[in-house]
């Protein structure tokens, strides 16, 4: 089960990197307006570090209380988000 936690943390890092890259190429933070608001206050990089670090900490807590089904579902959800970010990044780079 520790490998599931490691995979969850890797998806957080990948989501942060792909989100940062999409924003760098002119994209925007669409569904989470509070993240966009925070980015205006403390910057993109700092916001992503804060949010992804906090999400990784929540993942560790879920692991700690042994709710592995929830951690697996969140890992899958973030993997899908990374895939969507990757697609958006490829579209932006081709323009």
The DSSP code sequence of 4-51 is HHHHHHHHHHHHHHHHHHHHHTT----S-HHHHHHHHHH-HHHHHHHH
How far, in Å, CA of 39 to CA of 46, rounded?
Answer: 8
Cα-to-chain-centroid distance, residue 18: 8
Query: What was the pLDDT predicted at 28?
Result: 76
Q: State which residues form the domain around 63.
A: 2-94
Q: Whole-prediction pTM value?
A: 0.86
3-state SS, residue 95: coil
Domain count across the chain: 1
Q: State yes or no: pLDDT of 92 exceeds 90.
A: no
pLDDT in tens, 7-64: 999 999 999 999 999 988 888 777 778 888 999 999 999 999 999 999 999 999 999 9
């Amino acid at each position: 089960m520790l490998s599931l936690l490691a995979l969850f943390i890797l998806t957080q890092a990948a989501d942060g990197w792909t989100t940062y890259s999409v924003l760098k190429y002119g994209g925007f933070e669409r569904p989470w307006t509070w993240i966009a608001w925070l980015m205006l206050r403390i910057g993109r990089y700092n916001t992503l570090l804060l949010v992804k670090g906090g999400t990784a900490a929540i993942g560790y807590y879920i692991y700690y209380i042994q709710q592995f089904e929830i951690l697996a579902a969140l890992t899958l959800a973030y993997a899908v988000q990374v895939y969507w970010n990757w697609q958006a990044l490829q579209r932006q780079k081709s323009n």
